[in-house]
Structure 1
């Protein structure tokens, strides 16, 4: 019995000693285990910038974070996601999800990804609002003008025939695309449709890239894909992210005017870079889905919105609608829109009623 008592006593003392040891060493272990994640205040964060060729344009990231190692990991994951989305939305890739959908049998509901369905749904709503001025089924007409621009580099006398234009236009019509919101399916009701997301996809991808940055704890960032820009919170001690928008001075000269944006998207669309000139007329790369003809109005449209997806497609739609109808469309929806006219004489800039860029 005495031996049992002493064994119990020693056992209790040993357990007590181990518990005390635990309390002594636990803070030390905690410090050692977290030593590689030293807290760095946001005021000490560095700015990192990346540019990669994605979706046929320079896809830019600028953001602030705590270390170069984290910045590299984040940028890599964002660009990987951009490539995934491009493989969904591209009409250049024959095996993209969009291209496969364009080849789907008529009348058969096709299940599509959540990303593609969301973009199609937004596009179809805008098609209804603009009565077809925005139409993602205009791929046949868009491709016709795209090929013409390329061919005229080799053969300056190449023009489109009326037969070619009419043949492409017969395959255009947003009402021939049916969406089932419950099942996330898409049904083509006519053959030969070619879907083209050129007026909305880049904006959506920019939104997705910013969403990834925010989920990684990065809240001061700039994302741009050509004319589609999205920013979150401003850099510390700055009024906003510095962006240049084309404006016209009192003498009619075009110049880059600086604006500062916070938590906003800015998209610019027009024919200042991509166009073809035929017999003295300038035809834009933007095609009016209602006629199948490249725009000749020579306007540039900038839209500020909360979403890059919306600013992108609104800018394209307003280009097609033209100045008067476009401003009416913008004011009805309280959109921030800036329209620059380039066709005749001195360039002119007209803001919508709700423009707050300056």
Structure 2
């Protein structure tokens, strides 16, 4: 179990507001390159710590399966398989790949889990603040293609091309938020907010509140961007944009969001927000729409997800 008395994880109950038998507790833990937050209402300090600890333990286990930064993760080991190999995987990895592959087909390749070769190239470019070069980009891009992975029944995956490198960064945080939320519910926590670096899912509202207040950017009737509070319950929300991570090179701005079809970071600078019932879908859709761009006909893509809605705020 995690040590919830560590200053990195247990925030000494940032504030505990009496609300009948329920009090508010907040915890945080770094993982997947970001900070995961859990805010919950519980009837006792011990229940809050136990539930949050279980959620963070689950996050650690998911990272060990889904991280492409870890060469020993279950995801990374898929790149070592020969062409045609069939392997049985864990349910979390199978579900992530199954959902990702479905979105790849619907988005015509705008979302692609096999983008790992490009991801590694661009991560180095961001660290060095140097454009990687078009020859290197093309060499990485030709190794990308969601058709290289086939999802089979019985928690099995088939690799159809050797050396395929997967990167679940466009869906993994949202998926982890969903699983963590389910863990909290299994411990009797009915009112919670789980935030994985901006990918958020909420359950029942806090006591005496209409919902969890989530601040987002929207466009008003005059076409101006403004900050508004949405009061959400039993919903998930994800936002994708390049506000904090981008590369400026020779007058061009390249986002950390890579288009698997061109090999380049997207350049439109727009911010995409998606609301769904689950966070994995919201996370992946926000990534796909960011790649498609604000001028693409992505409304048709949302029709395949009737419980979701999305909007774009242009830079």
Give the TM-score normalised by structure 1: 0.79
Q: 1:71 aligns with which of 31, 48, 61?
A: 48
Matched residues in 2 for 1:189 and 1:110: separation?
12
Provide Cα deviations, 1:207-245, integer angstroms capped at 9, x if missing partner.
Answer: 000000111111110000012000000012101001100
Q: CA deviation at 1:193?
A: 1.0
Provide Cα deviations, 1:157-201, integer angstroms capped at 9, x if missing partner.
Answer: x322222011101110000111211x3221211122110001001
Q: CA deviation at 1:248?
A: 4.8
Q: 1:313 aligns with which of 270, 278, 284?
A: 284
Matched residues in 2 for 1:275 and 1:98: separation?
26
Matched residues in 2 for 1:125 and 1:47: separation?
38
Aligned to 2:13: none
The answer (yes or no) to whether the contact 1:240–1:260 under 8 Å persists in 2 is yes
Q: CA separation of 1:331/1:112 partners in 2, compared to 1, >3 Å: closer, same or farther?
A: closer
The answer (yes or no) to whether the contact 1:127–1:135 under 8 Å persists in 2 is yes
Matched residues in 1 for 2:266 and 2:126: separation?
14
Corresponding position: 1:174 with 2:143: no
Q: CA deviation at 1:326?
A: 2.1
Matches within 5 A, 1:178-193: 178-181=150-153, 183-193=154-164
Corresponding position: 1:338 with 2:311: yes
The answer (yes or no) to whether the contact 1:228–1:267 under 8 Å persists in 2 is yes
Q: 1:327 aligns with which of 290, 299, 307?
A: 299
For the residue of structure 2 that corresponds to 1:95, the secondary structure is coil
In structure 1, list runs of 5 or more residues that go unmatched: 1-40, 153-157, 343-358
Q: CA separation of 1:95/1:109 partners in 2, compared to 1, >3 Å: closer, same or farther?
A: same
Aligned to 2:23: 46
For the residue of structure 2 that corresponds to 1:294, the secondary structure is coil
Between structure 1 and structure 2, the one with the greater Rg is: 1
The answer (yes or no) to whether the contact 2:194–2:200 under 8 Å persists in 1 is yes
Give the TM-score normalised by structure 2: 0.90
Aligned to 2:10: none
Matched residues in 1 for 2:193 and 2:161: separation?
41
Corresponding position: 1:291 with 2:243: no
Aligned to 1:162: 134
The answer (yes or no) to whether the contact 1:319–1:326 under 8 Å persists in 2 is no
Q: CA deviation at 1:151?
A: 0.9
Provide Cα deviations, 1:248-291, integer angstroms capped at 9, x if missing partner.
Answer: 56887654311100100000011111110111111110111111
Matches within 5 A, 1:100-249: 100-152=77-129, 158-181=130-153, 183-248=154-219
Q: CA deviation at 1:328?
A: 3.7
Matched residues in 2 for 1:106 and 1:307: separation?
33
For the residue of structure 2 that corresponds to 1:192, the secondary structure is coil
Matched residues in 2 for 1:291 and 1:219: separation?
44
For the residue of structure 2 that corresponds to 1:288, the secondary structure is coil
Matched residues in 2 for 1:97 and 1:326: separation?
32
The answer (yes or no) to whether the contact 1:42–1:66 under 8 Å persists in 2 is no
Matched residues in 1 for 2:63 and 2:226: separation?
33
Aligned-residue CA RMSD (Å): 1.7
Higher helix share: 1
Provide Cα deviations, 1:34-69, integer angstroms capped at 9, x if missing partner.
Answer: xxxxxxx98321111001112111100011111111
Matched residues in 1 for 2:213 and 2:187: separation?
23
Q: CA deviation at 1:331?
A: 4.9
For the residue of structure 1 that corresponds to 2:108, the secondary structure is coil
The answer (yes or no) to whether the contact 2:85–2:159 under 8 Å persists in 1 is yes
For the residue of structure 2 that corresponds to 1:159, the secondary structure is coil
Matched residues in 2 for 1:275 and 1:162: separation?
17
Aligned to 1:348: none
Aligned to 2:14: none
